[in-house]
A and B are shown apart, each in its own frame.
Chain A
Amino acid sequence: MMSSRRPAWVEAPNPVVTTAKGVVIGLILLIMIYPLAYVILNSFASPEATTTAGLIPSEWSFSAYSTIFKGGIVQRSLIVSILVTLVGTALSLAVTATLAYALTKTRQVPGMRLALYLVLLTMLFSAGIIPNYLVVKAFGLLDSYWSLIIPVLASAFNVVVMRNFFMQLPRELFEAARMDGAGELHIFIKIVLPLSKAVLAVIGLFYAVSYWNSFFNAMLYLNDSSKWPIQLVLNSYVLQGSAMSSMNNTDMYNLPSSQSVQMAVVVMATVPILIVYPFLQKYFTKGVLTGAIKG
């Protein structure tokens, strides 16, 4: 493919304008990439190396990572985050897919239209922090890992995207299966789900990213710091630890407050997102647009 073909009616590029655009784009890229590159590269600086604004540390070392993985709260919180992300994503996908499939039956099954409106309506309001907290408390989920999963089990937006996808599947396939005597459950599991791998993958990735990034729910519902996921540890170790030197919470991790260790914690919290990003990017343009407007 010709990557820079110019349609006949477009003027030949003006060298001044092209240079100006190049400079602006170069600046944008620098502002976006430099902070991430700085943190990633300098997490490999040895603790003795003096930090500079340069990208390349004066002395390379893995000591920051070996400090983290000696055990202790960072390692434990990574395990918590991984488990919550895996279990949460699986449950969220299951609940979203079954609900979305049931909601495709608004014509055939009484009550489904009402159910669809009830789901859609939740996009317009939120009861607020305190009422949500009281419900989580009433269900006895405080200080339980389930408080990171169950209160955010499904999003109406994802249900709608998946329902739209199911609606587009060719009807003839279902009719043929029904003629052969297949029940609804059979049709859902053996026909609908295998045809929907793409949408399941996208929505699964979005759920996974939101479980991995979840911060405030964990802060609200988990008092016991030994249950904290990585985002919470990152907050109290890097954000609050460096913002308020008077806080003595850096002691409890038994971690040296060296900058490279801080950066290594940031990197560990970021790596899973970087790993799934190429897959995400392949799909999300489509995902955002289906139903982004007029849900």
Chain B
Amino acid sequence: MDREAAVTHREATSIRSDPRSSPPSGRMRRLGQALRQHKVIYFLLLPGMLYFLAFHYLPLGGISIAFMDYSPFLGLSGSTWSGLDNFARLFDDPEFVSTVRNTLIISFLQIAFAFPAPILLALLLNSLLNERVKRMVQTVVYLPHFLSWVIVIAVWLQVLGGAGALADLFQQLGLGGVNVMANAETFKILLTSQVIWKDVGWGTIIFFAAISSIPTELYESAAVDGAGSLRRIWHITLPGILPVIVLLLILKLGDVLSVGFEQILLQQPSVGAEAAQVLDTFVYFRGVLGGDWGIGAAAGLLKGAIGTLMIVAANRIARRAGSEGLF
């Protein structure tokens, strides 16, 4: 069967180059030879490659509906082009302005608080002398990373929601009701706390690896020179892990426009869109649910393009500052 495939392939190449009556070009012949010689490897490549082409590259064509007056009934070929119309509508939309503002505020809070949290935790755990305590703490703090956002929020609801443990406690103390989970004013702080709870442990892993690659002799000679444990952290550990910190910060900056999509989508109903609409949820609610596909795709494209530019720019800045950079 494989040989048949190879033969038909040879026929196909000769047909393609036939009309000018020239013999199959060397390139084609080499390709045919390679196909025959390595048919097993190409066969193993095929399913995975088809997947990446169909579900990662093919969707790129769908970006075109950002420039279309798209209707699902007419499809891509039936809908008419509308130029930058969708983008004009987007910038005139007051909800889009508050969406961008929410996204940036949440991102800023996460960079300010959720980003340094694992660094602090890694430094704290690293200063523990008892290996068993250290390992036990690690086992506990890594776990929430593997829970889905639905589970994490459900658990938080049971503790901090209107009928949760905290509300019960307040009631017993005669302090009245409390529902941290449905407070629009503190929602962005709540989001940041949830991110820290879920991923602070997971985030320490990479810093542990960086810390363990610092040569012990550095600490030893610093101690001999009279540097206390805090000064050793400041002058040896922190500079030692700085390249990793910079690298992760670059990644974070490139991602500044995507903030916890599922996390926010799940909680938007309880605090309202005013406080909880971010770019990704805007695309979903306006585009997919609201049926305004063009404006949704335009917002999505804007987000993707700015994100790519941000990461390239941040990388260049990091390189200029002397760090190795990402690529």
Contact = CB atoms under 8 A, between A and B. Distances in A.
A122 B158 contact: no
B41 A292 contact: no
A110 B149 CA distance: 43
A124 B40 contact: no
B158 A38 contact: yes
A10 B131 CA distance: 15
- A contact residues, range: 35 or more
Task: Give the secondary structure class of A's interface.
Answer: helix
B220 A32 contact: no
Interface string A174-206: 000000000111001000000000000000000
Contacts of B190: none
B146 A29 contact: no
B225 to A, nearest CB: 11
Contact of B52 (A3, A9, A154): A154
A270 B147 contact: yes
Nearest to B135: A3
B293 A130 contact: yes
Interface in B119-168: 121, 124, 127-133, 137, 139-144, 146-151, 153-159, 161-163, 165-166, 168
B49 A115 contact: yes
A174 to B, nearest CB: 13
Given A102-B44, A110-B34, A134 B49 contact: no
A99 B49 contact: yes
A19 interface: no
Contact of A128 (B31, B128, B156, B283): B283
Interface string A96-129: 1011111101001111100100110010111111
A75 interface: no
* A-B pairs with lowest CB-CB distance, top 8: A99-B48, A131-B62, A127-B59, A213-B148, A128-B300, A243-B270, A102-B45, A131-B59
12 contacts: A4-B132, A6-B129, A11-B223, A25-B137, A32-B143, A35-B156, A99-B47, A128-B59, A235-B150, A244-B269, A266-B155, A293-B206
Interface of B: 30-31, 34, 38, 40-42, 44-45, 47-49, 51-63, 65, 76, 121, 124, 127-133, 137, 139-144, 146-151, 153-159, 161-163, 165-166, 168-169, 172, 181-182, 197, 201, 205-206, 208-209, 216, 219-220, 223-224, 228-229, 244, 247, 261-262, 265-267, 269-270, 280, 283-284, 287-288, 293, 296-297, 300-301, 303-304, 308, 311, 326-327
